[in-house]
């Protein structure tokens, strides 16, 4: 191990929440590393690794290298999202499967490759980004919602299996649209009604540092203007 800083991994890095999480963890004294399939973080001072999060071999190799240099991760965030929207009968099965692979399968692969070392080290935080679709499936959201439902169930199972080993597993329901350049163009909404990535990242920071006598498993976040 060559670094004195504890390791924080954000799987699903990129503009928006991924960048904000990496920045917050780096500001807090962690060696923050982003895993990204297509996009790199916009901050050149933060380390990112381009890999396919659904490829177990790639995730294993990169995680092992980072663990050898920095020690077991103290914080791991699973943040990929693959929004597939459309009527079920018009959604190709390959696209439906891709939504599941990018969200549910990638979380299982990530857990396989980080949790054993975290348990051996005595604990850590494993945080999963959910969505409104984690709780209810809407029309034309069958692929996205079914993957997010699966991800929520996986997170619950991980919590019940590894909490006693010191791993704080939590699921964050992001009930709103996250503010970014892309989402402003896509949704055309007033930015004041959208979720600010830095504010969400602060909530993740607090989750990751809760005392073990009062752990939150599921947290739902939404802007003041959002109905629920």
Q: How many domains does the chain have?
A: 1
CA separation for the pair 167, 160 (Å, rounded): 10
Cα 131 from chain centroid?
11
Q: Specify if 80 maps to a domain.
A: yes
Q: Specify if 28 maps to a domain.
A: yes
Q: Specify if 85 maps to a domain.
A: yes
Q: Specify if 226 maps to a domain.
A: no
Q: Specify if 1 maps to a domain.
A: no
Q: Specify if 228 maps to a domain.
A: no
pLDDT mean by block of 10 residues, the chain; 228 residues = 84 93 97 84 79 97 97 97 84 91 96 98 98 93 94 98 98 90 68 89 98 97 87
Q: Specify if 134 maps to a domain.
A: yes
What's residue 23's pLDDT? 96
What's residue 189's pLDDT? 74
What's residue 83's pLDDT? 79
Token couple for 85: 């929207």
**Residue ranges making up the domain that contains 40:** 7-220
Q: What's the pTM value of the predicted model, to 2 decimals?
A: 0.93
What's residue 15's pLDDT? 87
Q: Specify if 2 maps to a domain.
A: no
DSSP tag of 225: T
| Sign, CA torsion 140/175/81/39 | positive
CATH number at residue 213: 3.40.50.720
């Amino acid at each position: 191990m060559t670094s004195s800083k504890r390791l924080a991994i954000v799987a699903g890095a990129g503009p928006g929440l991924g960048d904000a999480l990496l920045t917050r963890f780096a500001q807090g004294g962690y060696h923050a590393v982003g895993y990204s399939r297509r996009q790199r973080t916009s901050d050149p001072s933060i380390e990112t690794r381009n890999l396919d999060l659904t490829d177990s071999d790639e995730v294993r190799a990169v995680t092992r290298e980072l663990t050898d240099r920095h020690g077991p991760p103290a914080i791991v965030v699973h943040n990929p999202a693959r929004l597939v929207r459309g009527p079920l009968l018009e959604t190709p099965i390959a696209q439906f499967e891709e939504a599941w692979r990018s969200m549910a399968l990638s979380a299982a692969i990530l857990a396989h490759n980080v949790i054993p070392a975290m348990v051996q080290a005595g604990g850590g935080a494993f945080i999963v980004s959910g969505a409104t679709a984690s709780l209810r499936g809407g029309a034309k959201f069958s692929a996205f919602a079914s993957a997010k439902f699966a991800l929520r169930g996986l997170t619950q199972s991980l919590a019940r299996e590894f909490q006693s080993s010191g791993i704080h597993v939590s699921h964050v329901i992001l009930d709103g649209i996250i503010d970014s350049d892309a989402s402003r163009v896509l949704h055309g909404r007033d930015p004041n009604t959208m979720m600010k990535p830095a504010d969400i990242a602060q909530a993740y920071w607090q989750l990751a540092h809760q005392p073990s006598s009062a752990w939150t498993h599921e947290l739902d976040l939404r802007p003041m203007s959002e109905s629920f």
